[in-house]
Amino acid sequence: MKYFVVDILTPSKIIAKNMPAESLLIPTVRGQINVLENHTHIVTKLSTGALTVFGGADYADRTFAISSGVCKLLDNKIVVLANTAEESTDVNVERAKLSLQNAEDKLKNTEGLTPEEVDEYIQKAERAKLRIQLAEFNKAK
């Protein structure tokens, strides 16, 4: 089986480097895309969601919670530049639940918040829900 390689990077660290993949599901602002070997070259904006790397018969499947950024596909090399990224096996569920609660508390009374702050808390709540969902799915395996 032929594989391509995936790098997942954030401003603060390298999440994955030269990870082999048979296929990949990427959350984009236009919807989820499935990437297979020899996919056309693209650059696309990411949305908050689950990025799944399918390793095929030789490598384990891996799932990452990511939030906004860009993804570049070129010559069977995929580079994901995300604002935040975390592998499902690394999620601290208690911290994610606390983050969700804090964001929801702020959104209960938006008086005094700017539209940008409201958007920021909505995004924090979405990220926290995704992280919790991925961690619980990973635990159920």
Q: What is the mean pLDDT of residues 56-65?
A: 89
pLDDT given for residue 93 in this prediction: 92
Cα 103 from Cα 126, distance rounded (Å): 9
Do residues 63 and 21 touch, judged by C-beta distance below 8 A? no
4-88 fold: ATP Synthase; domain 1 (2.60.15)
Q: What is the mean pLDDT of residues 6-10?
A: 96
Structure tokens at 25: 């599901």
Cα 19 from Cα 53, distance rounded (Å): 9
Q: What percent of the chain shows pLDDT beyond 70? A: 98
Cα 57 from Cα 97, distance rounded (Å): 34
Task: Give the residue extent of every domain in the chain.
Answer: 4-88, 91-140
Is residue 1 very low, low, confident or very high in pLDDT (cuts 50, 70, 90)?
A: low
Query: What are 34-56's pLDDT values in tens digits?
Result: 998 888 899 999 999 999 999 88
